[in-house]
Amino acid sequence: MRKITDQITKVDIPMTGRPGRTVARDRSGDGLRRPAREAGDDALLEGCPSTPGLTDAVLIIRGEQRRRGFDAIRSLWRLGDAVRRLRLVVGPGDWRRTLQTCANAAGMHPESLHDAARASAAFPPDEREAILARFDSSGASLTVSHVIALARATPSRRTSGVEALLRSSHSVRALRAHLNEAHGQRHGD
């Protein structure tokens, strides 16, 4: 009897409507779509008992978590866009009071709105989806906190930080250290 994984073949069917993500069509007849296996997938379950379907479930869950995280980042950028538009219509002497009023009405802290505006300005709208696509296709982690940390950096340090995140997973603290280290190396500190 062949294993069920022998009956699964990789086909190019968009899993989420995003390019580059594929699923495997099940030849076993149960009609369930399964994620296509990619390099490094076996490392996800090292040391775990072999259970049929476990790898598929883990890959689907990880993909959904990544997409949920990307949706949160898109939301951060939209919030920031709104705050930046508000900033354009409010006089300079009224900005702090207006931001505080907006934050209170939205149930947020003014610094959170400021961070969203900074992230919006740091990542132009025409580049946002391309950045998310790079992280999605590489399987690398990008969180709202990463985006906020990157937004606080200069453009060259931001580029360095994005590349570092694409190469390997970093906590926000490690990303900040990388950004500061990159800054220090350029300035001889």
Total residue count of the chain as it appears in this document? 189
Distance in angstroms (rounded) separating the CA atoms of residues 150 and 4: 43
Sheet holding 23-26, edge to edge: 8-11, 23-26, 33-35
pLDDT for the residue 50: 72
Q: How would residue 55 be classed by pLDDT, with cut points 50, 70 and 90?
A: confident
What's the CATH fold of domain 69-187? Arc Repressor Mutant, subunit A (1.10.10)
- φ/ψ of residue 9, rounded to 5: -120, 150
Q: Give the percent of the chain with pLDDT over 90.
A: 53
The pLDDT mean for the chain works out to 79
pLDDT for the residue 67: 87
The residues spanned by each domain of the chain are 4-61, 69-187
Contact in structure between 34 and 56 (CB atoms under 8 Å): yes
Among the ranges given (51-55, 91-95, 115-119, 176-180), the one the predictor scored with the smallest mean pLDDT? 51-55
Cα–Cα nearest to 131, from 147, 145, 117? 147
Q: Give the percent of the chain with pLDDT over 70.
A: 70
pLDDT for the residue 45: 62
* Continuous H helices in 38-171: 54-89, 95-106, 110-122, 125-138, 144-151, 155-167
Of residues 188 and 122, more confidence is placed in: 122
Q: Is the pLDDT of residue 44 over 50?
A: yes
C-alpha 22, offset from chain centre: 19
